Amino acid sequence: AQSVTQPDIHITVSEGASLELRCNYSYGATPYLFWYVQSPGQGLQLLLKYFSGDTLVQGIKGFEAEFKRSQSSFNLRKPSVHWSDAAEYFCAVGDEANDYKLSFGAGTTVTVRA
Partner 1 sequence: EPEVTQTPSHQVTQMGQEVILRCVPISNHLYFYWYRQILGQKVEFLVSFYNNEISEKSEIFDDQFSVERPDGSNFTLKIRSTKLEDSAMYFCASTLPRGFGKNIQYFGAGTRLSVL
Complex with partner 1: residue 23 or 81, whichever CB lies closer: 23
Query: For partner 1, what does the binding mask look like between residues 37 and 76, x meaning CB under 8 A?
Result: -----xxxxx--x-xx------------------------
User: What pairs with residue 101 in β-bridges?
Assistant: 95
| Cβ-based nearer residue to partner 1, 100 or 114 | 100
Q: For partner 1, which residue of 25, 27, 35, 36 counts as binding (CB under 8 A)?
A: 36
The span from the CA of 67 to the CA of 24, in Å, is 10
Taking the C-alpha atoms of residue 61 and residue 85, their distance in angstroms, rounded to an integer, is 9
Residue (3 or 80) nearer to partner 1, CB: 3
Quote helix, strand, coil % in the chain, to nearest 5.
10, 55, 35
